[in-house]
């Protein structure tokens, strides 16, 4: 039995998230996209010969910080300082996440003063996340985690034998 990545994705959970109209879920989805955008476009902008390199480095750091904010499980398994963990735990509500994403977007929009690069896409993505969390905050929606990945307790989750076969 071959292991497929689709076995780990919770398609009914994704449909349920889309139908929920909970904007904190949408903000979290855009947060996942922002992780990829920040790291990839941050690395791509390291090859400029101008001050944009600084914003590329900032973009990479932002992507890593977003990773720990949006995937809190990593705080438990990665060896991190207590100060960093406390910093990340501050962003547990929709309002605080909205302000956090807005401040990061502002930093990336400042990169446009130096040179217009692909970091503009990062700034727009961070703004979309900020707006999603802001809508959730003003609509008084509860912060909710997304259901993209299946729960290991589910009956249809791939069991150890399948994972061992893959390895």
pTM: 0.80
Q: Phi first, then psi: what are they for 9, rounded to 5°? A: -90, 135
> Residue 72 has what pLDDT?
81
Residue range(s) defining the domain that contains residue 113:
22-139
28 occurs within a structural domain: yes
102 occurs within a structural domain: yes
Please report, for residues 36, 65, 160, the alpha-carbon distance to residue 58 in angstroms, rounded to integers and kept in the order given: 14, 10, 40
**Model confidence pLDDT, tens digit, residues 114-123:** 999 999 999 9
45 occurs within a structural domain: yes
Kindly state the average pLDDT of the residues 77-102.
Answer: 91
82 occurs within a structural domain: yes
Judged against a pLDDT cut of 90, whether residue 10 lies above it is answered with: no
Total number of domains constituting the chain: 1
**Model confidence pLDDT, tens digit, residues 56-72:** 999 999 999 999 998 88
> Residue 129 has what pLDDT?
95
CA distance 131 to 34: 14
């Amino acid at each position: 039995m071959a292991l497929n990545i689709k076995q780990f994705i919770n398609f009914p959970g994704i449909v349920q998230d889309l139908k929920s109209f909970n904007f904190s879920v949408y903000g979290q989805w855009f947060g996942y996209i922002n992780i990829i955008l920040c790291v990839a476009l941050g690395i791509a902008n390291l090859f400029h010969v101008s001050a944009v390199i600084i914003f590329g480095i900032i973009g990479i750091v932002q992507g890593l910080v977003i990773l720990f904010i949006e995937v809190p499980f990593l705080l438990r398994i990665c060896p991190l300082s207590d100060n960093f963990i406390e910093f990340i735990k501050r962003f547990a509500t929709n309002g605080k996440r909205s302000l956090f994403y807005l401040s990061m977007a502002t930093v990336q929009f400042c990169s446009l003063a130096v040179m217009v690069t692909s970091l503009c896409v990062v700034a727009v993505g961070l703004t979309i996340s900020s707006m999603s969390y802001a809508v959730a905050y003003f609509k008084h929606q509860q912060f909710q985690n997304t259901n993209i990945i299946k729960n290991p307790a589910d009956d249809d989750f791939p069991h150890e034998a399948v994972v061992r076969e893959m390895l």
